[in-house]
Structures are given as structure tokens and as C-alpha cells.
Amino acid sequence: MELILPIIYIAFYLVYCGAFFSLAKKAGLDHIAWFAFIPILSTILQLRMIKQSGWWILMMLVPIANFVFAIIWQVKLLNAFGKNGAFVLFIFLGPVYSILWMVWGYSQETRYYLNDAPQNPTFFA
């Protein structure tokens, strides 16, 4: 019984990371898609998906600003995949928000819409 929860957690984590791996491939970031499986690098991967520098991760160290930054970053990420920014309200319901990203990551209908945006050649470009 004691092993069931860790196994469920690891399975959920791998499925979640796999979804972001798939999203990175849709965004044309095949060369760094593996970042999805490493905790800090997965955040940098998401920043690269919205055409921002990996250095933006330092904003997560600033109290209060990190909360605002996370909301803005998630809205941009949602918009990058053609989702309404209002979905960011689910961020307060972590498991629901994670499941939404998993569904979108594995869906064949999810498209990436920032290919026309100018590149920001910086950290991990």
C-alpha cells in the first residue's frame, strides 16, 4: 500500500512531462524537447515556447512578482497553443490545470500559433 502513491505520482509525472514533450515538438523545439522531463529545465522549455529567454526563470525568485509573472507566462503559453487565456483560472485547481495540459499535449488537434513571431535568440536558443 505504501508503494502505490509513489508509483501513481511517478506515472502522473511521466504522462505530464510527455505532454509537454509533445507540445515542445509541436512548437518546433525538437532539440530541447527532452527538457520537459527535468524540473527546472521544463520551466525554461515553457518559456522558450512563448519565445522568451530562459533567464526569465529568475523572476520566480522575486516574491509577489513571481505570482504575477507565473500568471502572465501561463496566459502567453495558453495563447501560443490557441487556448483562451481564461483557462489560467484553473491554475488555482492544480490537478485540473495539469490534466488540461495533458489532454492538449496528446491531442492531434492542438496547434502552435507563434511560429510567425520573431525569435528572441538568448538562453538555450
Query: What pLDDT is attached to residue 12?
Result: 94
DSSP 122: -
> Could you tell me which residues come within 8 angstroms of residue 33 by beta carbon, excluding any fewer than 6 positions away?
21, 24, 25, 45
pLDDT score at 125: 46
Position 83 in a domain: yes
Crossing angle of helices 39-49 and 65-80, in 10° steps, is 60
Run means of pLDDT, 10 residues per run, the chain, 125 residues: 90 95 94 94 92 86 90 91 87 86 93 70 47
Q: In this structure, is residue 98 part of a structural domain?
A: yes
What range does the domain containing 70 cover? 4-106
76 domain residue, yes or no: yes
Query: 89 lies in a domain?
Result: yes
The domain tally of the chain equals 1
